[in-house]
Amino acid sequence: MNITLQTQTPPTGDLIIPVVQTDLTSQLTDLSQKLTLPLPTLQRDFKADAKEVVTVYKADGFKTYLLGVGPNPKAMDWLRTFRKFFFDQKGKLSAQVTIDLSQVEGDVVESVVLGVRWGGYDLKLYQTDKPDTPVFFSDAGQLSLLVSPRTEAVAQEAFIRAEAIAQTQRQMLDLMNAPANYKQPQTLADWAMNSGKQHGYSVTVLDKTELERQKLGALLSVSQGSDVPPVLIITDYKPADATNVLTVGLVGKGVTFDTGGVSIKTSSNMHLMKSDMGGAAAVLGTVEIAAKLKLPIHVVGIVPATENAIDGRSTKPGDVITSYLGKTIEIIDTDAEGRVILADGLGYMVRHYSPDILIDLATLTGSVIAALGYHAAGLFTANDALANKLTEAANQTGEHLWRLPIWDAYTEDIKSDVADVKNFSGKPVAGAISAAKFLEVFTENHPAWAHLDIAGMAFTDTEFGSQKNATGFGIRLLTSYLQALIAESR
């Protein structure tokens, strides 16, 4: 399906008119005249609640849909409403569809485009008797976004950004939803290599031999129990003019399957642990988008990728390992593997790239889900300015962050008798915080480091499947953060 911006309504096709709940009477009055519908009927049938749909059949065979967006819709509300509409209606739409955004206040083009593209996404990756692609989402499909000539220039920019994000995010959804027999550490590396070639940024993959040579002992220890080798993926996007630009270092947890290792998980819901690479998806996706949009900022993305499997060779509880930075770690629980591989990811980043800003993302703890549920990711940083900027970006995209403390009082939890640090406190309290304190040890006191625990946000229940599935959490958030950073440093 092809999308274009228009300033005039195309002569044929289905028409979608989004309706915000505020000032409803006057809008419905206009619509009743425009569509020659009796106002009282319209008022009775349509309250413009979010995702509410009224279908008006026309004599020419096409349809007009009124689509409720609810009161005071924000970016995420527009996105969700359109995703749901297109997901539900995709089989019933004609090849030509127009969305009338000419009366809408504010810049919603990006959210609407993302919503439409996501509406066409389905989870049936491996089904063999898939129904044919609906005509609207096929090559023959054509979507016109009707905007007012006044806002066309702004809309055009938002549209290009949205198409770039949507296309990248879709691939990340596929990677996240892929099971472990279709997705190994090398699969992530291959994706990055292809992307780097296509979009002009450099990608280096350290294979197992190289990890051994360079002594990434923490990553290697987690991978020990698996038949598939680990990798460290380094993606590096530099703008053409790289003088005086900030360097942002992003590190993402890339566990392609987490059995827990010897501290094995219970079997209920273990299958969901194919999604334990949500941090990696956010990082890889953001670097690709930065390159596509040619953002004037230097972004380095590092992904330690491995399985956490169980075998005779697996790391055992009590083992002491040596990380890339030389610090020793006592492994109390092999299921606390994310922080262990991030120790090397962060260590490698600070040693080789000295980024101005350092952010890691990880599906790190069940504890953050106990604290915040499925409505916000945990944000950990000692840097107030960074916290504020990330929170602002998050509020803009609707991928909420909530700050939790990382006071030094919590350091007690990770003190080991035998090693520099231990990977689990052994106590059922403040698990997300002690995990953050553990990571902090490997940032070499970076003054602008933030950790995002996205365990509850990367893979969740949605209206689009019966089981949890990928959300793409973090990609839009980080992209919007980078753009704010650029705007500020101008």
DSSP state of 408: G
Alpha-carbon distance of 147 to 155, in angstroms, equals 8
Instruction: Mark residues 188-227: x for contact with Zn ion by CB under 5 A, - for none.
Output: ----------------------------------------
Q: Which stretch binds Mn ion (CB under 5 A): 152-160, 258-266, 352-360, 480-488?
A: 258-266
Alpha-carbon distance of 240 to 237, in angstroms, equals 10
Query: For residues 462-476, b (16+ Cβ closer than 10 Å) or e, as one string?
Result: beeeeebbbbbbbbb
In the block, residue with structure tokens 């049936």: 124
Site membership for Mn ion, residue 335 (CB under 5 A): yes
Q: In the bound complex, what is the minimum distance in angstroms from residue 235's beta carbon to Mn ion?
A: 24
Residue 176 and residue 277 in contact, taking contact as beta carbons nearer than 8 Å: yes
> Strand 469-470 and strand 254-258: pairing?
unpaired
Residue 242 and residue 232 in contact, taking contact as beta carbons nearer than 8 Å: no
Is 117 designated active site? no
| Closest C-alpha among 33, 27, 38 to residue 71 | 27
**Residue 66 CA: distances (Å) to CA of 10, 38, 236, 365, 421:** 18, 15, 45, 42, 59
Alpha-carbon distance of 180 to 193, in angstroms, equals 20
Site membership for Mn ion, residue 110 (CB under 5 A): no
Q: How many residues are listed for the chain in this entry?
A: 490
344 binds, among Mn ion, Zn ion, ligand BES, none (CB under 5 to 8 A by kind): none
Q: In the bound complex, what is the minimum distance in angstroms from residue 93's beta carbon to Mn ion?
A: 43
Site membership for Mn ion, residue 344 (CB under 5 A): no
Is 150 designated active site? no
| Binding stretches for ligand BES (CB under 6 A) | 258, 276, 333, 335-338, 363-367, 424, 431, 455
Name the residue type at position 148: S
Query: Which residues lie closer than 8 Å to 270 by C-beta, 6 or more apart?
Result: 259, 260
User: Tokens in use for 139?
Assistant: 């090559």
Q: In the bound complex, what is the minimum distance in angstroms from residue 337's beta carbon to Mn ion?
A: 5
Q: In the bound complex, what is the minimum distance in angstroms from residue 283's beta carbon to ligand BES?
A: 16
333 binds, among ligand BES, Zn ion, Mn ion, none (CB under 5 to 8 A by kind): ligand BES
| Closest C-alpha among 468, 448, 298 to residue 381 | 448
Candidates 77, 236, 258, 344; binder of Mn ion (CB under 5 A) is: 258
Q: In the bound complex, what is the minimum distance in angstroms from residue 263's beta carbon to ligand BES?
A: 6
Q: In the bound complex, what is the minimum distance in angstroms from residue 336's beta carbon to ligand BES?
A: 4
Nearer to Zn ion (CB atom), residue 51 or residue 265:
265
Nearer to ligand BES (CB atom), residue 177 or residue 363:
363
91 binds, among Mn ion, Zn ion, ligand BES, none (CB under 5 to 8 A by kind): none
> Strand 247-252 and strand 298-308: pairing?
parallel
The active-site residue out of 47, 215, 238, 265 is: 265
The active-site residue out of 80, 161, 339, 476 is: 339
Residue 353 and residue 376 in contact, taking contact as beta carbons nearer than 8 Å: no
Q: What are phi and psi of 154, to 5 degrees?
A: -65, -40
Alpha-carbon distance of 309 to 198, in angstroms, equals 33
- Applying the rule CB under 5 A, the residues between 237 and 276 that interact with Zn ion are 255, 258, 276
14 binds, among Zn ion, Mn ion, ligand BES, none (CB under 5 to 8 A by kind): none
DSSP SS3 for 131: coil
220 binds, among ligand BES, Mn ion, Zn ion, none (CB under 5 to 8 A by kind): none
Site membership for Mn ion, residue 307 (CB under 5 A): no
Nearer to Mn ion (CB atom), residue 334 or residue 471:
334
Candidates 115, 217, 301, 338; binder of Zn ion (CB under 5 A) is: 338
Residue 316 and residue 297 in contact, taking contact as beta carbons nearer than 8 Å: no
Q: In the bound complex, what is the minimum distance in angstroms from residue 427's beta carbon to Zn ion?
A: 19
366 binds, among Mn ion, Zn ion, ligand BES, none (CB under 5 to 8 A by kind): ligand BES
Classify the phi-psi angles of 56: left when phi > 0, otherwise alpha if psi is within -120 to 50, otherwise beta: beta
Site membership for Mn ion, residue 453 (CB under 5 A): no
Give the residue numbers marked as catalytic: 265, 339
